[in-house]
C-alpha cells in the first residue's frame, strides 16, 4: 500500500471523515499511522464475572440477551443491554449512542471492557468498551487498548479500527529509512509502529517510543544541520573591516555603559561579520536587556562598510519605536534612518526600519549587507532564501526576548548560532508580582486608582482568547474596556489598544499613553511586545491562567523600566490548583529562562513560543526536555552529514527528510 495515499480516498474514511481528521493534522495514510496513542487502557485481564470484585476494571466475554434504548425525562438517550458471561448477568449502559441498537443485537457474542459496579443492587458497567467476537486478537477490549488524541466526530475507537486496518495493509511496504548502523539495536520501523499502537505489554510501548522518538529528533537535527551547511556553502565576498576605534566611538556616544553581557554579544557579532560566511545568529535576551543597542551597533558597522541595513519589527508600533531609538542613536553619525510600514514609506536611507512589508515588497534599497529581525523566531527562513538568491547573502541577526531552553535551542535552532544577553542593566527594580484572589479583586481596583492618582500609569492586558488576534479577541477587549470605563474607573482616562485598530489610531493611542493623556491602557496581549514607557508601573493581566509563564514574564517586562517600583497583578478566573501553583512561580522567579524551562516541564513545548505558534513546534512523541536523546541525535546527524553531506547514499532517509523539512522549518 502507498502510504502517501490521501485518507479521503480510502473506503471507510472518505471525504466526510477526512475533513474531520484534518483537524488533527492527518491527511495521508502515513500521517494516520504516525498518530500515536497518548495512553493505554489496561483491559488485558479476561475474567469471569463471578470472579470479579466491584470496582475492578475487567474484560468479560459473553452474550447479549437484550438491548433497548430508554429515553430519560431530561431528553437523554440511554442504551441498556443485558449481558451474560455464563456466570452472571450484567447491565450495560451507554449514553447518547442510540445507534448502538443497530450494531448490537440480542444473541451477539461480545467482549466488553470496563469497570464493574453495582447499580440498584445489580451488577452493572457504565459505558463499556465493546467489540464483537469475530476476530482474534481483539483491538478494543481484552488487551492494552490505545487511546488517541481525538477531535469532534473522531473517537479513539474509530481511530483504533482504522489504524489497525491500515497497519496490516501498510506495514509490509514500509521501508526502514534508518541505515542499519544508525538503527543499531533499536526496533525496525514497522515493528515500532505495530508496538506503539497495539502492544502486548507496556515494555513494548517503551521500546517503540525509544525508536520513534529517536526518529523524530534525528530528522529535525538532520534538517537544521543541513540548513546550516547550505547556509555556509556560499561564502561572502569580503569580510567586513571593523576598527576598534569605531566601536569605541559608538559606545562613547551612548548615555550609559554597555553591560558586560552586551559587550560579550557585540564581540560575537563582530567576529561573525569579519568572517567569510554570512552571519546567521539568534540573539536572545530578556525584555529590557538592551538588544536594540546591540542591533544599532551592527547597523553602524554595516554603514562603515558601505552597506545598508534592514531592521524588521513584528508590529508597526514597534517599528515606530525602533525608528525613534535608532534615529537618536545613529543620526549623530550622519546616518539616514528610514521608516517603512503600511502607512509610512521612506526608503532612501542607510537603514530602513519596518514591518515585514519590508521583505515582501521589492524595495529598491541598494546593497543590503545586514538584516535584523526582531521578535520573530523563524521569521524569514523563506524570505532569507529569497534574499540570498536576489543578491549577495546579507548577514542575518534574529533577536528574541523569548527565553529558549538549551535543549530547544539545540534542536529547533540548530542551524543558528546562539548569543545570549543574560543580565539586565543595573538598577532595574524588581517587578513585584502578585496572584490576586478573586476576593481581593475589588480592593486591588481601588489600589490601582490610588496609584493613578499618584501619577503612575497602568496596563490592563485582556485575556488571550485565541491564538492570533481575531475579531473575538478584539470584541472581548472592547467589552472589558467598556466595563472598566463605566463600572470601575469612571473618573480616570482610559484608552484601548488592539491589533485591529488602524495604524493611525494605534499611533495616537500610544502617543497619548506616552504623554500621560491616557492613564490606563487596556490592551490585548498581541500588540504590546517591546513597548517602552517608563512611567507605566502597574500591569494587570486578566485570565493569567491562559498564558505560559515565559509569556507572562515577557508581558510584565513592559513595566519596571524606570526607577519607580513596579507591580504586576495576575487575575484569574476558575483556576485549577495546578495552574495556581504554576502562576505562583512568577511571584518568586524573575529569570525568564528558568520560567520557560518550567513551562517546558509543566505544559510542553507549545507554551514556550506562545499559543500563536502552538502545535507547529509540538513534537509527537519525543520530549524537548530529553537532553540525552537530543545530544545523541545531534551527534549522529553530524557524523552522518560529515561522511555524506548530500545524503545521496541514503535515498530513503533523504526522501524522509524532505517530507519533514517542510514541517520543522516553517516560514
Ligand atoms: P530589549 O529590546 O532587549 O527588550 P531595549 O533595547 O528596548 O531592550 O532596551 C530597554 C531599555 O534599556 C532602553 O530604554 C535602553 O535605552 C536601556 N538600556 C539598554 N542598554 C542599557 C545599558 N547598558 N544601561 C542602561 N540602560 C540600557
Ligand atoms: Mg526589543
pLDDT in tens, 320-341: 889 999 999 999 999 999 998 7
Closest ligand relative to 295 C-alpha: 1
Once rounded to an integer, what is the mean pLDDT over residues 454-473? 80
Q: Is 259 in the pocket of ligand 1 (CB under 6 A)?
A: yes
Which pLDDT tens digit goes with each residue over 406-438?
Answer: 777 777 777 788 999 988 888 777 899 999 988
Once rounded to an integer, what is the mean pLDDT over residues 198-202? 94
C-alpha of residue 291 to centroid of ligand 2, in Å: 6
Predicted confidence at residue 526, as pLDDT, reads 65
Q: Which of 293, 514, 534 to mutate to test the pocket of ligand 1 (most atoms within 8 A of CB)?
A: 293
| Residue that wins the pLDDT comparison between 240 and 554 | 240
Q: Where are the beta strands (DSSP E) in 153-293?
A: 280-285
Q: Is 262 in the pocket of ligand 1 (CB under 6 A)?
A: yes
Q: How confident is the model at residue 612 (pLDDT cuts 50, 70, 90)?
A: very low
Closest ligand relative to 292 C-alpha: 1
Closest ligand 1 atom to Cα of 293: 6
Predicted confidence at residue 465, as pLDDT, reads 66
Q: Is 402 in the pocket of ligand 1 (CB under 6 A)?
A: no
Q: Is 562 in the pocket of ligand 1 (CB under 6 A)?
A: no
Q: Is the pTM of this model over 0.75?
A: no
Q: Is 258 in the pocket of ligand 1 (CB under 6 A)?
A: yes
Predicted confidence at residue 604, as pLDDT, reads 61
Q: In the chain, what percentage of residues exceed pLDDT 70?
A: 91
Distance between CA atoms of 237 and 463, rounded to whole angstroms? Answer: 50
Distance between CA atoms of 477 and 466, rounded to whole angstroms? Answer: 12
Cell of 141: 477490549
- For residue 500, give every residue at least 6 positions away whose Cβ sits within 8 Å of its Cβ, in sequence order, or none: 469, 471, 474
Predicted confidence at residue 613, as pLDDT, reads 37
C-alpha of residue 292 to centroid of ligand 2, in Å: 6
Question: What does the mean pLDDT of the chain come to?
Answer: 87
- For residue 28, give every residue at least 6 positions away whose Cβ sits within 8 Å of its Cβ, in sequence order, or none: 3, 4, 5, 6, 7
C-alpha of residue 414 to centroid of ligand 2, in Å: 23
Cell of 386: 529569497
Q: Is 293 in the pocket of ligand 1 (CB under 6 A)?
A: yes
Residues in the chain, total: 667
Once rounded to an integer, what is the mean pLDDT over residues 149-154? 88
Once rounded to an integer, what is the mean pLDDT over residues 25-31? 92
Distance between CA atoms of 626 and 417, rounded to whole angstroms? Answer: 21
Predicted confidence at residue 138, as pLDDT, reads 82
Predicted confidence at residue 468, as pLDDT, reads 61
Q: Is 592 in the pocket of ligand 1 (CB under 6 A)?
A: no
Q: Which of 254, 290, 296 to mutate to test the pocket of ligand 1 (most atoms within 8 A of CB)?
A: 290
Q: If you take atom 26 of ligand 1, which residue's CA is the nearest one?
A: 425
Distance between CA atoms of 545 and 559, rounded to whole angstroms? Answer: 20
C-alpha of residue 313 to centroid of ligand 2, in Å: 9
Q: Angle at CA 321, nearest 5°, toward 319 and 327?
A: 95
> Which class for 447: exposed (0-12), middle (13-18), buried (19 or more C-beta within 10 A)?
middle
Closest ligand 1 atom to Cα of 258: 23
Closest ligand 1 atom to Cα of 287: 4
Once rounded to an integer, what is the mean pLDDT over residues 21-30? 91
- For residue 466, give every residue at least 6 positions away whose Cβ sits within 8 Å of its Cβ, in sequence order, or none: 472, 473
Distance between CA atoms of 269 and 272, rounded to whole angstroms? Answer: 5
Q: Is 380 in the pocket of ligand 1 (CB under 6 A)?
A: no
Q: Report in angstroms the alpha-carbon separations of 285 from 288, 359, 390, 558.
A: 8, 25, 31, 14
Strands 280-285 and 395-400 turn out to be parallel
Q: Is 288 in the pocket of ligand 1 (CB under 6 A)?
A: yes
Closest ligand relative to 286 C-alpha: 1
Phi, psi (deg, nearest 5) at residue 405: -55, 150
C-alpha of residue 540 to centroid of ligand 1, in Å: 23
Q: In the chain, what percentage of residues exceed pLDDT 90?
A: 54
Closest ligand 1 atom to Cα of 292: 6
Q: If you take atom 19 of ligand 1, which residue's CA is the nearest one?
A: 290
Predicted confidence at residue 270, as pLDDT, reads 97
Q: Is 290 in the pocket of ligand 1 (CB under 6 A)?
A: yes
Of the candidates 235, 289, 311, 551, the one whose C-alpha atom is nearest the C-alpha of residue 422 is 289
Closest ligand relative to 318 C-alpha: 2
Amino acid at each position: 500500500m502507498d502510504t502517501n495515499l490521501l485518507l479521503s480516498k480510502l473506503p471507510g474514511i472518505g471525504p466526510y471523515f477526512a475533513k474531520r481528521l484534518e483537524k488533527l493534522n492527518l491527511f495521508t495514510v502515513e500521517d494516520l499511522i504516525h498518530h500515536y496513542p497518548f495512553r493505554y487502557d489496561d483491559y488485558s485481564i479476561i475474567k469471569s464475572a463471578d470472579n470479579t470484585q466491584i470496582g475492578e476494571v475487567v474484560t468479560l466475554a459473553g452474550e447479549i440477551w437484550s438491548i433497548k434504548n430508554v429515553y430519560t425525562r431530561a431528553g437523554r438517550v440511554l442504551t441498556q443491554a443485558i449481558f451474560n458471561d455464563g456466570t452472571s448477568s450484567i447491565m450495560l449502559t451507554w449514553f447518547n449512542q442510540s445507534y448502538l441498537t443497530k450494531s448490537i443485537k440480542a444473541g451477539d457474542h461480545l467482549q466488553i471492557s470496563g469497570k464493574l459496579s453495582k447499580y440498584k443492587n445489580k451488577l452493572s458497567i457504565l459505558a463499556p468498551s465493546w467489540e464483537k467476537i469475530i476476530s482474534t486478537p481483539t483491538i478494543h477490549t481484552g488487551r492494552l487498548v490505545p487511546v488517541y488524541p481525538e477531535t469532534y466526530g473522531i473517537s479513539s475507537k474509530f481511530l483504533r479500527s482504522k489504524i489497525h486496518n491500515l497497519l496490516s495493509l501498510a506495514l509490509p511496504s514500509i521501508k526502514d529509512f534508518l541505515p542499519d548502523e544508525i538503527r543499531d539495536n533499536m526496533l525496525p520501523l514497522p515493528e515500532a509502529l505495530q508496538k506503539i499502537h497495539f502492544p502486548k505489554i507496556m515494555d513494548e510501548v517503551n521500546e517503540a517510543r525509544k525508536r520513534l522518538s529517536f526518529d523524530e529528533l534525528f530528522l529535525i537535527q538532520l534538517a537544521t544541520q543541513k540548513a546550516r551547511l547550505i547556509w555556509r556553502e556560499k561564502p561572502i565576498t569580503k569580510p567586513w573591516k571593523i576598527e576598534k576605534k569605531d566601536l569605541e566611538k559608538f559606545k562613547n556616544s551612548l548615555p550609559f555603559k554597555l553591560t558586560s553581557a552586551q559587550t560579550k554579544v557585540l564581540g560575537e557579532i563582530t567576529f561573525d561579520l569579519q568572517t567569510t560566511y554570512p552571519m546567521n545568529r539568534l540573539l536572545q535576551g530578556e525584555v529590557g536587556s538592551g538588544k536594540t543597542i546591540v542591533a544599532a551597533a551592527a547597523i553602524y558597522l554595516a554603514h562603515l562598510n558601505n552597506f545598508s541595513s534592514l531592521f524588521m519589527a513584528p508590529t508597526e508600533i514597534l517599528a515606530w519605536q525602533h525608528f525613534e531609538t535608532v534615529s537618536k542613536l545613529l543620526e549623530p553619525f550622519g546616518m539616514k534612518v528610514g521608516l517603512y510600514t503600511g502607512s509610512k514609506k521612506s526608503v532612501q536611507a542607510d537603514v530602513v526600519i519596518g514591518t515585514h512589508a519590508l521583505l515582501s515588497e521589492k524595495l529598491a534599497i541598494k546593497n543590503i549587507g545586514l538584516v535584523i529581525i526582531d521578535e520573530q523566531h523563524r521569521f524569514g527562513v523563506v524570505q532569507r532564501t529569497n534574499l540570498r538568491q536576489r543578491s549577495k547573502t546579507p548577514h542575518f541577526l534574529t533577536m528574541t526576548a523569548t527565553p529558549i531552553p538549551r535543549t530547544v535551542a539545540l534542536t529547533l535552532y540548530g542551524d543558528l548560532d546562539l548569543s545570549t544577553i543574560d543580565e539586565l542593566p543595573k538598577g532595574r527594580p524588581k517587578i513585584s508580582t502578585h496572584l490576586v484572589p478573586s476576593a481581593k479583586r475589588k480592593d486591588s481596583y481601588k489600589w490601582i486608582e490610588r496609584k493613578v492618582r499618584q501619577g503612575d500609569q497602568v496596563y490592563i492586558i485582556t485575556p488571550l482568547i485565541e491564538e492570533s488576534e481575531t475579531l473575538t479577541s478584539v470584541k472581548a477587549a472592547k467589552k472589558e474596556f467598556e466595563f472598566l470605563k463605566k463600572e470601575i474607573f469612571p473618573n480616570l482616562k482610559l484608552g484601548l489598544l488592539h491589533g485591529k485598530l488602524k495604524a493611525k489610531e494605534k499611533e495616537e493611542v500610544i502617543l497619548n499613553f506616552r504623554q500621560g493623556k491616557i492613564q490606563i491602557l487596556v490592551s490585548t496581549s498581541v500588540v504590546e511586545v517591546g513597548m517602552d514607557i517608563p512611567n507605566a508601573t502597574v500591569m494587570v493581566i486578566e485570565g493569567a491562567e491562559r498564558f505560559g509563564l515565559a509569556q507572562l514574564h515577557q508581558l510584565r517586562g513592559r513595566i519596571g523600566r524606570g526607577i519607580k517600583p513596579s507591580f504586576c497583578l495576575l487575575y484569574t478566573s476558575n483556576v485549577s490548583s495546578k495552574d495556581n501553583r504554576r502562576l505562583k512561580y512568577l511571584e518568586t522567579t524573575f529569570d525568564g529562562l528558568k520560567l520557560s524551562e518550567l513551562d517546558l516541564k509543566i505544559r510542553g513545548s507549545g507554551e514556550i513560543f506562545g499559543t500563536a505558534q502552538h502545535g507547529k513546534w509540538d513534537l509527537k512523541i519525543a520530549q524537548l526536555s530529553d537532553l540525552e536523546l537530543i545530544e545523541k541525535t545531534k551527534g549522529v546527524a553530524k557524523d552522518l552529514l560529515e561522511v555524506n553531506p548530500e545524503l545521496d547514499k541514503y535515498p530513503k532517509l533523504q526522501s524522509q527528510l524532505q517530507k519533514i523539512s517542510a514541517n520543522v522549518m516553517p516560514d
